[in-house]
Every structure is written in C-alpha cells, then in structure tokens.
Amino acid sequence: MITEQTMTPKIKHILVALVENRPGVLNRVASLFRRRNFNMDSLTVGRTHRSHMSRMTIVVDGSKVDARRIAANLFKLINVIDVSVVSMEPHVSRDLALIKVRANDADSRNALTLICDNYPARIVDIGPEVAIIEIAAHEDLVESLIKELEPLGIVEMVRTGVVAMGRGVRILDSQYEPVIPVTAKNGNGNSTYQVYSV
C-alpha cells in the first residue's frame, strides 16, 4: 500500500486567500501574477460557509519565488480579506482527479483493479472500452497514480487542483462583512446619492 509518507515532497508552496465573493476578483489575482511574472501550478476557487466570501488556494513553485512575497502582494489587492501561506505550517491538502483509461479486455481490467488497490482510488464508472478512476489524495500520490496508469492508456483526465487547510486550531476565517452601497433619495425626493450599509 502506498501512503502519503512514502512520497518525496516537492518544493511547492500553498497560499490560501479569503476574498470577497464578487465579479472581477479572480481577474485581479490573475493580473497580479501576470504583472509580477509569478507562475501558478494550480488555482482553485470555491465558496466558504459564508455566502459573501470565497477561498482561493494557489500553488506556486517555491524554488523560483518567495511565498511570503506573493502573500504580501495578494494582501494589497482590493477585495482580498486575508492571506496565509498554509504550506509553512502543519496542514492537510488534497487534489481530486478523474482519469479515464482504456479497459477493453480482462487483462487491462485486472491491472486497473490491482493499481487502484494500492492507492486511495476507486473505479467509479466502467464500460466495454474505458473506465473512470477517481482519486482524492495528496498531489504526489495523484501524480504517482497517473504514471502507473499511463501504460494502460489514459484517454482523458481532469484535475481540480490542490485545496488545503491548516491542521487543528489553525483556522483561516474572518468576521468580515461587506460594505454594500445603497441608493437613497435626498429631502426633495428627486436626486439620489450613495450611502453605505453593512
């Protein structure tokens, strides 16, 4: 059985940013990386338990750029609430992949079953020609599984990118509430002006 501890870690940093759940935020972050010539290995964005807040998980090559420098630049952006370099503390990270491989005879199906038994992977769909494998594990385990499946013939693959969370009480959350512009009428009831409400 292959476990996460047996894999050799790569020099990668995982940054997590809490951002306002508004249009244009992703574009601002991507533009920052383009302007500063930073390269992203993966970028994952999803909602949090707070409807007005999203969470971005960004993986960068730690040998080419300082993660703290990226975090400082991200924190300066409008709509960014908080930033943390999660890879510099105990954390849990996962990458989800769906891999479609050829499985058109008994030998390939048996080989596929044996490979999946060695990983936290399972066959989620199988047909006369192909099968779909699902794995949700550390990024290195996903890479290792992909290499083992290549001889069988990978015909299609999709990966979500890395998501990460600090272990224990290392919590990245915010009580931040967005400021919402509200249109109000002045005393004569004709012209309007902007006021802000939390």
The crossing angle, in degrees rounded to 10, of helices 25-36 and 67-75 is: 140
Burial class of 132 by CB neighbour count within 10 A (0 to 12, 13 to 18, 19+): middle
* pLDDT of amino acid 196: 47
CA dihedral (97, 100, 102, 105) positive or negative? positive
Looking at 3.65.10.10, 3.30.70.1150, 3.40.50.300, 3.90.1150.110, the CATH number of the domain 92-164 comes to 3.30.70.1150
Sign of CA dihedral 97, 113, 154, 62: positive
Task: Give the pLDDT score at 178.
Answer: 75
- pLDDT of 174 reads 80
- Domain 4-89 shares a fold with domain 92-164: yes
The reported pLDDT for the residue numbered 1 is: 53
pLDDT at site 170: 86
Name which of 123, 120, 126, 132 is nearest 156 in CA terms.
132
| pLDDT given at position 181 | 63
Whether 142 contacts 135, CB under 8 Å: yes
| Fold of the CATH domain 4-89 | Alpha-Beta Plaits (3.30.70)
Domain boundaries, given as residue ranges, for the chain: 4-89, 92-164
Check if the beta carbon of residue 161 is closer than 8 Å to that of residue 95: yes
pLDDT (tens place) for every residue of the chain, 198 residues total: 555 544 545 588 999 999 999 999 999 999 999 998 888 889 999 999 988 899 999 999 877 788 898 999 999 998 999 999 999 999 999 999 999 999 999 999 999 999 999 999 999 999 999 999 999 999 999 999 999 999 999 999 999 999 999 998 888 888 777 766 666 566 666 655 554 444
